[in-house]
């Protein structure tokens, strides 16, 4: 008398798929949840829903590196730069834009100078990358930093500048303007004239 084979094989002879272990399911859930929390936090914490979400990656002295989601378009980055420009021209209070004071020792102007670098790859906005770029101690980092840029806003005591795309060596051409161009570069008004002043079109 032969005993029947009780092994759990399907009629076709293949083994049924083993369900995922509970620990694996938990790890996947935590990973997905973490990404959802990061991007959700960036979305909900932005000062204005008319600008793309962004997060401060690092800040060193007057330089700030921020990152936006990878799918952010050039048009949305331009909108973000214009918002920084509006704040710079009207109040110079970039605290509302999540930027710490860049000249805290100046009692009259806590944001006298400011440079904002915008990336869509958050690794370039890390403190080490920003520090190495500012010190110029690694030429490869310097070149990679400039090429990875998606946008830039710079403010001094007398002038402001906005750019889209990487910082390229040499003059702008019709070919390079497709992905890298200057949006504006203009002198600033006197501090007493800033409040309520309309933005100048680039």
pLDDT of residue 106: 81
- pLDDT for residue 4: 52
Entry field: residues in the chain:
202
Q: Is the confidence at residue 87, as pLDDT, over 80?
A: yes
User: Which of the four pLDDT bands, split at 50, 70 and 90, describes residue 199?
Assistant: very low
Average confidence (pLDDT) over 6-14: 52
pLDDT of residue 195: 39
Q: What are the tokens at 194?
A: 């800033």
- Identify the band that residue 191 occupies on the pLDDT scale cut at 50, 70 and 90: very low
Residue 26 pLDDT grade (very low, low, confident, very high; cuts 50, 70, 90)? confident
What would the pLDDT profile of 147-181 be if each residue is shown by its tens digit? 999 999 999 988 999 999 998 776 666 656 677 88
**Between residues 165 and 22, which one has the greater pLDDT?**
165
What is residue 111's three-state secondary structure?
coil
List the domain boundaries for the chain: 16-45, 51-193
pLDDT recorded at residue 171: 65
Checking DSSP bridges between strand 63-67 and strand 114-119, what pairing results, if any? parallel
Contact 42, 71 (CB under 8 A): no
Q: Are 137 and 131 a contacting pair, CB within 8 Å?
A: no
- Rounded Cα gap, residues 93 and 88, in angstroms: 7
Closest C-alpha to 167, from 182, 184, 183: 182
Q: Residue 8: pLDDT above 60?
A: no
Q: How far apart are CA 119 and CA 125, in angstroms?
A: 7
Q: Is the pLDDT of residue 200 over 60?
A: no
53, pLDDT greater than 60: yes
């Amino acid at each position: 008398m032969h005993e029947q084979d009780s092994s759990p094989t399907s009629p076709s002879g293949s083994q049924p798929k083993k369900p995922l272990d509970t620990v694996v399911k938990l790890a996947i859930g935590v990973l997905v949840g973490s990404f959802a929390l990061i991007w959700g936090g960036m979305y909900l914490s932005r000062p204005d829903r008319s600008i793309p979400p962004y997060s401060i990656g690092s800040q060193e002295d007057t330089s700030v590196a921020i990152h936006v989601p990878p799918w952010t378009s050039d048009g949305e980055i331009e909108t973000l730069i214009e918002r920084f420009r509006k704040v710079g021209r009207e109040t110079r209070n970039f605290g509302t834009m999540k930027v710490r004071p860049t000249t805290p020792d100046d009692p009259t102007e806590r944001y006298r100078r400011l440079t904002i670098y915008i990336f869509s790859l958050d690794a370039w906005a890390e403190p080490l990358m920003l520090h190495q770029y500012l010190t110029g101690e690694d030429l490869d980092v310097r070149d990679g930093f400039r090429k990875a840029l998606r946008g830039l806003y710079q403010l001094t005591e007398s002038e402001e500048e906005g750019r889209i795309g990487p910082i390229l060596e040499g003059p702008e051409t019709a070919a390079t303007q497709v992905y890298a161009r200057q949006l504006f570069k203009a002198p600033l008004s006197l501090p007493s004239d800033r409040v309520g002043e309309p933005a100048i079109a680039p």
